[in-house]
């Protein structure tokens, strides 16, 4: 009679002698990655590890978002819209993960956070250079943000380069123009170091795509992908706002911002205004 001891035998072909071989931990540099969490509270508070890992993993995902958006812009500039839709879809999935992550941090109660919040000094998510770079890449540019990173030359250079680079939307609109759509020259020649703002004269151009999707199918699909990107970003912003509200209430942020009020105003920012404005015009008699 065979006794099931609830174990699985190691298959004969599995490599177990890993000396002088590439390993899982080595490839991912897990020794460095898993040693990068350094709570500063004294005595160390149990929940500070959650706080650190929440933000570190968010930064890893944001690194990938920037990587993909950069690639999308290169593809659009090369008139490879079809290929650009794949990394754009990947960004949407990453955004969903980033938004869902807030539910983990939301398990941190006000009384728990209060026990180590004072140890954080002036460190704040406001100082995330990757978050600012993502905002810049999508159109919410603000040159004044560079002063936050003057003490960090590499971060400052990264954000300065992003400030000077055409946004994702700029590259898309340039592609529309090359396709023969009448995108106003003032938009194509705009100062890309400034935040993108609404251009009423662009709405009829976008409407042309929506009025005849069969003729402009890939452009039509791309417009909806961009709308998804903005919606997802706003969901992330709102979830952030709600987690901060339930954790610190109306306190001033650790970085000196007004906290909830500052985050609330961010919900008023937009990336692709004409893609939303056109909805009012579609089907209008």
Q: Is 206 annotated as a binding residue?
A: no
Q: Is 117 annotated as a binding residue?
A: yes
Which pLDDT tens digit goes with each residue over 178-192? 999 999 999 999 999
pLDDT mean over 32-41:
98
What pLDDT score was predicted for residue 1? Answer: 53
Q: Is 187 annotated as a binding residue?
A: no
The confidence band for 3, taking pLDDT boundaries of 50, 70 and 90, is low
The confidence band for 254, taking pLDDT boundaries of 50, 70 and 90, is confident
Helix 81-105 to helix 48-77 angle (10° resolution) is 170
What is the DSSP code string of 265-281?
A: HHTT--S-HHHHHHHHH
Distance CA 173, CA 203 (A): 12
* Contact yes or no for 48/41 (Cβ under 8 A): yes
- What are the structural domains, with CATH classification, of the chain? 68-115+124-281 (1.20.58.480)
Distance CA 118, CA 236 (A): 26
Q: Is 237 annotated as a binding residue?
A: no
Distance CA 117, CA 66 (A): 29
Which pLDDT tens digit goes with each residue over 209-218? 999 999 999 9
Residue 5, classed as helix, strand or coil, is coil
Q: Is 178 annotated as a binding residue?
A: no
Q: Is 51 annotated as a binding residue?
A: yes
Q: Is 54 annotated as a binding residue?
A: yes
């Amino acid at each position: 009679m065979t006794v099931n001891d609830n174990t699985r035998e190691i298959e004969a072909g599995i490599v177990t002698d890993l000396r002088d071989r590439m390993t899982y931990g080595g490839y991912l540099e897990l020794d460095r990655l898993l040693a990068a969490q350094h709570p500063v509270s004294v005595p160390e508070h149990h929940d500070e590890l959650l706080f650190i890992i929440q933000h570190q993993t968010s930064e890893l995902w944001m690194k990938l978002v920037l990587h993909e958006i950069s690639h999308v812009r290169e593809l659009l500039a090369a008139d490879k819209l079809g290929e650009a839709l794949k990394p754009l879809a990947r960004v949407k999935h990453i955004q969903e993960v980033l938004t869902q992550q807030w539910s983990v941090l939301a398990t941190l109660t006000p009384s728990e956070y209060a026990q180590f919040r004072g140890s954080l000094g002036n460190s704040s998510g406001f100082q995330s250079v990757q978050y600012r770079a993502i905002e810049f890449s999508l159109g919410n540019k603000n040159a004044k943000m560079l002063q936050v990173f003057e003490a960090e030359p590499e971060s400052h250079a990264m954000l300065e380069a992003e400030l000077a680079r055409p946004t994702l939307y700029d590259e898309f609109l340039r592609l529309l123009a090359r396709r023969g759509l009448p995108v106003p020259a003032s938009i194509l020649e705009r100062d890309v170091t400034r935040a993108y703002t609404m251009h009423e004269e662009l709405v009829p151009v976008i409407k042309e795509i929506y009025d005849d999707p069969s003729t402009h199918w890939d452009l039509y699909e791309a417009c909806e992908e961009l709308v998804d990107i903005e919606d997802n970003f706003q969901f992330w912003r709102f979830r952030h706002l709600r987690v901060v509200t339930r954790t610190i209430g109306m306190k001033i942020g650790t970085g000196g911002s007004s906290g909830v009020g500052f985050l609330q105003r961010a919900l008023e920012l937009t990336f692709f205004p004409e893609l939303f404005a056109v909805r009012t015009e579609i089907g209008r008699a």
